[in-house]
């Protein structure tokens, strides 16, 4: 039928997300998005909105996709918080090793680009980035850690998690990244060990 949109929205959004992830918001042009998605500029505007609107959809898509994986990894925290945190890191290490996606972390990259973003987009980036600490803190509290210790470890684990993405992008080996994880997980295990 003439005039009917003939594209799969999930495929288009994934392609746009990968483009933003690979090049960053500022260095991704509408022409880049057109090439990546196979849509012309007018189709992008009519179907997906302007660059900011599309970027927000891609950020939400990324946060939902990996957030669900992190939540699944942490779901056993009440029974075994150490295993849950290791599984949490495994999500990141798996993403870093995945040849189908760019290096690094779209969320961390977007936080670093906040000065170049519109205020509304920058605020959404900050909100999405901020989901990691509460996710971790809730899991650690479920695993028996005190509120204060859980908050402190959540910030530390989130910081280490982001550093893995940066170090992976800079060329650190899988063995080096795993060693970083091991140090953090060992520290958590010691903190959870009963006194005496």
**Burial of 88 from C-beta contacts in 10 A (0-12 / 13-18 / 19+):** buried
**pLDDT on residue 2:** 45
- pLDDT (average), residues 101-123: 92
Q: CA-CA distances (angstroms) from residue 196 to 159, 190, 192?
A: 30, 12, 12
Per-residue pLDDT tens digits for 28-55: 999 999 999 999 888 898 888 999 999 9
Residue-level pLDDT at 13: 95
Percent of the chain with pLDDT over 90: 86
CB burial class (10 A; 0-12, 13-18, 19+) of residue 149? middle
């Amino acid at each position: 039928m003439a005039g009917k949109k003939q594209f799969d929205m999930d495929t288009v959004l994934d392609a746009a997300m990968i483009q933003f992830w690979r090049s960053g918001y500022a260095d991704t042009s509408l022409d880049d998005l057109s090439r990546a998605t196979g849509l012309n500029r007018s189709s992008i505007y009519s179907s997906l909105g302007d660059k900011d609107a599309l970027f927000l959809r891609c950020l939400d898509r990324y946060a939902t996709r990996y957030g669900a994986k992190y939540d699944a990894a942490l779901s056993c925290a009440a029974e075994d918080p150490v295993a849950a945190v290791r599984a949490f890191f495994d999500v990141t290490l798996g993403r870093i090793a995945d040849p189908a996606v760019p290096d690094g972390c779209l969320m961390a990259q977007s936080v670093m680009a906040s000065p170049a973003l519109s205020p509304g987009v920058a605020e959404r980036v900050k909100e999405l980035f901020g989901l990691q600490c509460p996710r971790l803190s809730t899991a650690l509290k479920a695993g028996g850690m005190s509120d204060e210790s859980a908050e402190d470890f959540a910030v530390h684990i989130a910081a280490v998690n982001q550093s893995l993405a940066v170090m992976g992008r800079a060329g650190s080996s899988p063995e080096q990244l795993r060693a970083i994880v091991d140090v953090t997980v060992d520290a958590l295990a010691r903190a959870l060990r009963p006194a005496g």
